[in-house]
A and B are shown apart, each in its own frame.
Chain A
Amino acid sequence: MPKTKLSYKVGQFLMFAGPAALLFALVVIVPFFYGLYLTFTSWDGVSLQKPFVGLSNYSAVVADTDFWGSLGITVIYSVITVVVTNVVAFLLAFLVTSGIKGQNIFRAGFFIPNLIGGIVLGYVWKFIFNRAFVSIASGITGATVPSLLSTTNGAIFCLIFVSVWQYAGYMMLIYIAGFMSVDASLKEAALIDGCSPRQAMWHVTIPLMRSSFVTCIFLSTTRCFMVYDINLSLTNGEPFGSSVLAAMHVYRKAFTEKNYGVGQAEALVLFIICAVIGLLQVYIGKKGEVEA
């Protein structure tokens, strides 16, 4: 059979990519467009009727101040988490590739938080914040110290702290791969040419690791914007609904308040924001990438 014939190409494609494409269509593409359709209805999630209401769900989204509030909190949470996660991950990666004793154990140790599911992790940290830290602080000061989780800024801080703790190990692995991919001879050459180790890091290693940064920042940004599990188990939106992040707001809107159309429309807004930020950031990152 000639390998240039269309039927051959189609056959080959179907054989290798067909199952995956089919599944992708079934669980991503079709629900996406079905969801898009639902944003034009006032469906409550269980009713048999899906009354068509045009664009009124979107005007409800614009008018939903709680949604924009939670989106604002999500942006603050994401920016801080992404920056801190990547700084910490980079430093950890630098540490465990610099040849210190037992670095493999450290690598495993820093990575382990990632293997614990977000829900479990949230409950574990909730216990630590609410009981362990409170008893320690109360023991030291002698007075009852309120838990960090019961203050509005404290709850967001706890969310950021736990997220960084969880994500940093994963990002560290990517940075380690980045460090390994930089040829030692290049660094050596820079050092021989009179660079200080810091200059070599700044001018040689980091530019060559650019793709690692792009990947890590992309991954951590999208993860942060979509975060739900830690939010649910650690704070559950408390205190006074001040730590409800965007995904949780969407879930509550759609399922708890049985406002499926509006919730779905808000999810779409969230999706568009994530997509724009993600694509923009990858585009900018890739533009300046250097090949070694």
Chain B
Amino acid sequence: MNNSWKRIGTTALAALAAVGMLASCGGGGDSAGGDSDTLTIFNSKSEIQSQFEEMAEKYTEETGVKTEVYYSSDTISAHLSTRYASHNPYVLSMVDAKDIYSLGPDHALDLSGEDWVSDTTQAISVDGKVLGFPVSIEARGLMYNADAIEAITGEEFNPEDYQTLDAFEDLIDELKAGGMETPTGVLKEDWSLAGHYLPQVYEEREDPTAFLEDLHNGDVDLNSDAKFTSLMDTFDVLMENNYAKDSAISAEREVTSQNFAEGKIAFLFGGNWDWAVINQYDYTDGLGIMPVPQNTDDGSNTKLVGGGSKYFFIDSSSDVTDEQRQMAKDFLNWLVTDPEGQDFIVNTCSMVSPFASNTLEPSDPLGASVKQYSDAGNLIGNFNGLPDDHYSVLGADFQKYLAGQSSREEFAAAIESYWAGADMSNVESLANDTSSSSSTTDDAAANDAATDDGATE
């Protein structure tokens, strides 16, 4: 009697355990995408996650659409791949531009018929279909702290006076003479060096794709390339006057940003995304972004480099229902046209809206600079077709250069040998699809071949 009770008890417990485990496995599967009445949004910008969550709550209250926002610090494509593998994709996913090209054809819904398409120049189309909804505009350039500069020079700082490296160097000398011994900072992160600075060499010319194909075929001698020379000459000046010159590759982004925010240094190469770091410190008001000074006359030293950054796409698979897709479309329209949606992008998230109808003025000074250049058509488009290992591989080589462990010739040789063996599929996918090049690239970089006066040192 006693024995059989024990046996029944054990069996029951074991069964319970097994069922419990299976249930939890199954339960995990449809917690997000499975609820056909929920709009699931994947956010890949960590700095606006809490804003997104608050917005989702309000959005649900006002429209009755159940909205859930998710975030992952993982690599975007790695994170999304796990969701696809479990047939549980997000309805709406925020990704980088390059992900639209790689994921879009398989996973993204054609949005060509949406109203907002005509309202922006930054939407991404692949094979003639609009797949990517631009979330914001981000642009790169040389960030300046006008307050710090004016405190020394005693006169108003006007970035347009310092478009050439020669003028910029004179200013640096003046700052040094005035007591700011090291007026610049350099972020040593590989994404900044080889993801943001180096690509300017490709982007600031008429046809980046053709140039990269030449580079791939070994037809380019970077050392005699005018654009490479002028950009590296400027980089040398930034490097030479770096506040952390002796420990350039262990300087932390936070410390550098803090020094910049507080005006201990006056110049730092970056973009308006740096605001998320800078605004944590005791910043002065006169911050802004100017084009990277270069001794060139191709016009690239009057423009910032950038464009759409972070794109939404709507999942097209059978794991998501048509109702969910409609919710996602409505949400995107809300972001573009509804005053609250516009306010959310510009004021709540401190982003620069890529939509012409959104006329709100950016609340942060860096964003305001970008908006100004963007409105005037002075943005050189991002090149979104770099191989996925570009920034990590060449980032390491660029760091060597930054640390003074390799010469410019060696760095150029490293770039050439990287491209010789590079996987060109991303570059080619962009080359095949002319409609995808963002509209701002066309008028950029007119004649970089003509200038060889870049080398002044």
Contacts and interface: CB of A to CB of B under 8 A. Distances in A.
A81 B268 CA distance: 39
B106 A47 contact: yes
Contact of B388 (A22, A26, A130, A257): A257
A238 B77 CA distance: 23
A210 interface: no
A274 interface: no
A11 B102 CA distance: 50
B247 A134 contact: yes
Contacts of A149: 250
Contacts of A237: 392, 396
Contact of B247 (A19, A23, A150, A259): A150
A51 interface: no
A259 B80 CA distance: 15
B17 interface: yes
A134 B10 CA distance: 61
B252 interface: yes
Interface string A229-260: 00000000111111000000000101111110
B252 A130 contact: yes
Classify chain A's interface size.
Answer: 20 to 34
B403 interface: yes
A146 B387 CA distance: 33
Contacts of A257: 387-389, 392
A140 to B, nearest CB: 16
Interface string B371-395: 0000000000000000111001101
B84 interface: yes
B97 to A, nearest CB: 15
A240 B84 contact: no
Contacts of B220: none
A31 to B, nearest CB: 10
Nearest to A27: B25
B388 A258 contact: yes
B437 interface: no
A6 interface: no
A146 B389 CA distance: 28
A18 interface: yes
A258 B390 CA distance: 12
Interface string A27-60: 0000000000000000011111000000000000
B84 A46 contact: yes
A94 to B, nearest CB: 37
Interface in B352-381: none
A128 to B, nearest CB: 13
B222 interface: no
A78 B198 CA distance: 35
A155 to B, nearest CB: 10
Contacts of B397: 240
B21 A252 contact: no
A292 interface: no
Contacts of B389: 252, 256-257
Given A255-B75, A258-B388, A46 B106 contact: yes
B250 A147 contact: yes
Contacts of A241: 392-393, 395-396
B403 A150 contact: yes
Interface string A132-153: 0010000000001011011000
A243 to B, nearest CB: 11
A100 interface: no
Interface of A: 15-16, 18-19, 22-23, 26, 44-48, 130, 134, 144, 146-147, 149-150, 237-242, 252, 254-259
12 contacts: A15-B10, A22-B18, A22-B21, A46-B103, A130-B252, A134-B250, A146-B246, A150-B403, A239-B250, A239-B396, A241-B393, A256-B78
Closest CB pairs A-B (n = 8): A241-B396, A150-B250, A255-B78, A147-B250, A257-B389, A240-B396, A45-B81, A46-B81
Given A45-B77, A45-B78, 13 more contacts: A16-B14, A22-B18, A46-B107, A47-B106, A48-B106, A134-B247, A144-B247, A237-B392, A238-B399, A239-B249, A241-B396, A256-B392, A257-B387
